[in-house]
Amino acid sequence: MKGLILVSIIALASIFGATAQSATITFRSDEDISVKIFKPIDGAYNPNVTSDVLNLKKDVNVDYQVAVSEFGFVHCEYFDESRCDVLLLPDDHLEIGYLKNKLAFKGSNADGQMYLYNQGGLGNYYGKLDSLISHTITNRIDFGGIDIDLKNKLLCPYYSDLQKMSSANKISKPFEAILCKDLEYAQISMLNVEYQNLLIGRIHKYKPLTSDSIEIIKRIHALFNDPNVINEKTLKYNFAWVGDYYLLKWNSLTKENRALLRESYPSETFGGIMYNLAAPTYMQSALFGIGFVGELRYPRISFDHSKLLAYLKVKFPNSEYIPIIQKKMEELKK
C-alpha cells in the first residue's frame, strides 16, 4: 500500500430519530479511477443524488465512513459504469476492490456482498418472472401456478443460497434477513408491474376475463396492504415501486379525501407528484425529495418549485433533501 487517505463524513442521525452509527467502506483500485457514492438520504435508499466523488489512485486505500441506523444500502458507481449496491450494518468494515472492470469484496459479509453484486441488484429477476407468468397463461391465467412457480423457481433457490452462507458463518443472520427482505420487495415490485401488464393485455396480448381482472386488482392491493410490507423500514430498500402503489391509492380516493390530504395548500404546490400525500407521513420527506430532485434534473415544471420547497420546510424542517434541493435550484438559476 503506497498511502492511506481518510475521508471523514460527519454521521447524521436520520429524521426518524434513530441513533446513527458508523460503518466504513475501504475503496481500493488497481488503476486510477473515480467512483461516485450515493449515501442514504433521510434514512432512505438513494440512487440519484451524488453524496461524494472519490478520485482513487492505484494501490492507495481510501476509507469512507457512512452513518448507519440499523442498516443501509449504499449505491456506488465507477466512471467506467461499473456499479454496485452494498449493504452496511453498524460497525461494518467492508473493502471494495476495483480489478479491471470487476469488483471484489473483503471484510464484513463479503460473500453476501458478492452474491448481491452478481445478482445485478436483483434486476435480472424481472426477466425470470416474466417468463414464469407467461408460461402459466393458456386460455386463462393460472394464478395458483404463478404462486407455485414464483416460490419454487425464484424465491426458494435465493433463500437457500443465503441460508447456506449464513450456516457457514460467511454472512451474519441480520445480513441474511435483510437480503431476504430485499428480494421480497423486488418480488412485490415485479408482480405489480406484471399484473398491471396483464390488465391491459401486454403479456402475450392476452385479454383477461372479467373474473381475472377482478382477481388481479385484488392481488395488487394485497401486495401492499400488509404492515410487513409498508412500514418505517421500507424506504431503506430500493423503493422505486412504492410510488406506483401510492399513485394507485391516490386515484382511488374521493375528491373530498384528496382535499383533506392537501390541506389548505394549492394544487400547484404538488402538481404531478401530489399522490405522495397518500403515503404515510414518515415516507413523504423521501418521496417528495426524490420527486423534486428528479424534476430539477429533467425540468417539466409539473409543480411550483418555490411552493413545494416552502411546504417541505414547514412539514419536514430537518429533511436532508432541503439543502440538496436549495443548492440545485440555485445552480439552475445560474
> Domains in the chain, please, with CATH?
3-118 (2.60.40), 124-240 (no CATH), 255-333 (no CATH)
* Cβ count near 110 (within 10 Å): 16
Grid coordinates of 121: 441488484
Residue 75 contacts residue 32 (beta carbons within 8 Å)? no
Mean pLDDT split into 10-residue runs, the chain, 334 residues: 39 43 95 96 93 96 94 95 94 94 94 87 58 63 74 82 95 95 83 79 72 84 82 90 86 94 95 95 95 86 92 97 95 84
Give me the pLDDT at residue 134, please: 64
Give me the pLDDT at residue 4, please: 40
Give the type of residue at 161.
D
Sequence-distant (6+) residues with CB within 8 A of 55 are 32, 34
Give me the pLDDT at residue 191, please: 80
Give me the pLDDT at residue 224, please: 80
**What span, in angstroms and rounded, lies between the C-alpha atoms of 160 and 171?**
13
* Cβ count near 304 (within 10 Å): 16
**What span, in angstroms and rounded, lies between the C-alpha atoms of 122 and 45?**
15
Give me the pLDDT at residue 200, please: 78
Give me the pLDDT at residue 278, please: 95
Give strand pairing partners of 137.
141
Q: In this structure, are strands 60-68 and 21-29 parallel, antiparallel, or unpaired?
A: antiparallel
**What span, in angstroms and rounded, lies between the C-alpha atoms of 69 and 80?**
31
Output b/e per residue, 111-144; b: 16+ Cβ within 10 A.
Answer: bbbbbbbebebbeebeeebeebbeebbeeebeee
How far is it between the farthest Cα atoms of the chain?
68
* Cβ burial, residue 53 (10 Å; 0-12/13-18/19+): exposed
* Cβ count near 303 (within 10 Å): 21
Give me the pLDDT at residue 132, please: 66
**What span, in angstroms and rounded, lies between the C-alpha atoms of 188 and 184?**
6
**What span, in angstroms and rounded, lies between the C-alpha atoms of 81 and 29?**
15
